[in-house]
Structure formats: C-alpha cells, structure tokens
Amino acid sequence: MYGDSGIKLVQHAKRTQNLAHLPPYQTELVRAVTREVRDLNKDVDDLLEPFQGSFDPSEDQAVAYTLLVNHISMRRNKRCLLAYHRTRTDKLEELVWNGADVVDLSGQQVRDGSSRNSTGLTSGDGSTSSLSPQEEDYVRQYGDLLAAYKGQWTDIDLTGSLEPPRDLFIDVRVLKDAGEIQTEYGAITLTKNSQFYVRQGDVERLIAQGYLQKLS
C-alpha cells in the first residue's frame, strides 16, 4: 500500500519528539519512500504517454482517478519526508542551543554503535553516525550561525544557565582532560581527577559538556 513507509517514518518522528537524544537516521526508510515517489512518477509518465499531452479527464475517468491516486500518494510521501526531517532538525537546533556540538553528537553515536555490535568502536566514523551527513553539515552551520549571533553581545552568554548562581566560586573536579583554559586569574591546566576552586562563569560550558563535575 502506498504511504506505508511514510507512516513508519512519521512514527519514528513521533518517538523522536519524546526522546532526549537523537535516534539514528533512518536511511533505509527514507530511501524506500523516495523510491516510491520515483516509481509513482514513472507510473504517471507511463500512463500519460499515449495521450501525447491531450488528456481529457472526463473522457477516461479510470485513468484520471489512477493519476489522482498517484499524485496524492506522492504528495503524502513528501509530507511524511518533510515532517520527519523537520522533527529532527528541530531537535538538532535544540541540542545546539543546549551547547552540544557535532563532536558531542558523534560521541553519542560511538556509544550507540558499541552497545549494538560490541566490537568496541573507538572512532566516530560516518557509518555509525546517528546523523546523516547532511544533518552533520546542518549542525555545523547552525552552530556557526549561533556563534556569530552570540558574538554580538560578548558580555552576555545567551546559551548560559538562566538560574542565578548561589556562589560565584565553586569547587569542581575534572572528569576528562580538557587542556588549559584562560581565566581572569590566569591559566589553569585541567588534568583528569584534579580539583579546583574556580569562578562558575568560567567553567559553566565545560560542566555542561561533561568535562567537569560540580562539587556541592
């Protein structure tokens, strides 16, 4: 039945809406739907061929309705495809605003990949990505756009936390090596398992990205 793969795709989108992360891109399904559209278009062309551009719907109703079914099915598939991709890009934009970048998202894909086939994938190469190559590009460019937008107001962090901090300075523990960062009080080298007393504003991003842990 026409539109069945489209429905499956939209059901995926529905599930995606309620998830915190982004499930893998359904390359196969998307391909199936586009293939269906292409087949339908070919059918339409084949049906219209003998008429040589002089088709009168009221004379041959059977053909007219077949064309109608094909046309509506194509439109339906288009809607399913667009809705699926729109749901995902909305999610991606949300993730970018929350401070995720392409590297974070590919980190997620490595975990997904290794749990599925337990071969212990170490690098996030394209084949295990939960994003399609186009989506990765989208995230990168959207991130650039957001950075350019934020760059206009250097003294406000638009993606920062809306909660007012209780203390200006906090204790943090380093979970992952993050290299050297510059603060007002000089440079700090963040090496794993070390502990610092730093200004919250300087390290907020690193906490959000999981490099540091806040100690209460």
Nearer to another protein, 59 or 155 (CB): 59
Of 1-9, 131-139, 150-158, 176-184, the segment contacting another protein by CB under 8 A is 1-9
Q: Does residue 208 touch another protein according to CB under 8 A?
A: no
Q: Does residue 65 touch another protein according to CB under 8 A?
A: yes
Residue appearing with tokens 């080298």: 189
Residue in 23, 24, 55, 83 binding another protein, rule: CB under 8 A: 83
User: What backbone torsions phi and psi does residue 169 show, to the nearest 5 degrees?
Assistant: -110, 140
Give, as ranges, the residues between 12 and 51 that touch another protein (CB under 8 A). Answer: 13-14, 17, 47
Q: How far is the CB of 107 from another protein (least distance, A)?
A: 27
Strands 186-190 and 195-199, by their bridges, are: unpaired
Give, as ranges, the residues between 87 and 116 that touch another protein (CB under 8 A). Answer: 87
Q: Does residue 5 touch another protein according to CB under 8 A?
A: no
Please report, for residues 55, 101, 133, the alpha-carbon distance to residue 146 in angstroms, rounded to integers and kept in the order given.
Answer: 52, 11, 20
Under 8 Å between Cβ of 95 and 22: yes
Angstrom distance (rounded) from CA 108 to CA 14: 20
| CB neighbour list of residue 66: distance below 8 Å, 6 or more residues apart | 47
Chain residues in the site for another protein (CB under 8 A): 1-3, 7, 10-11, 13-14, 17, 47, 57-58, 61-66, 68-69, 72-73, 76, 79-80, 82-83, 86-87
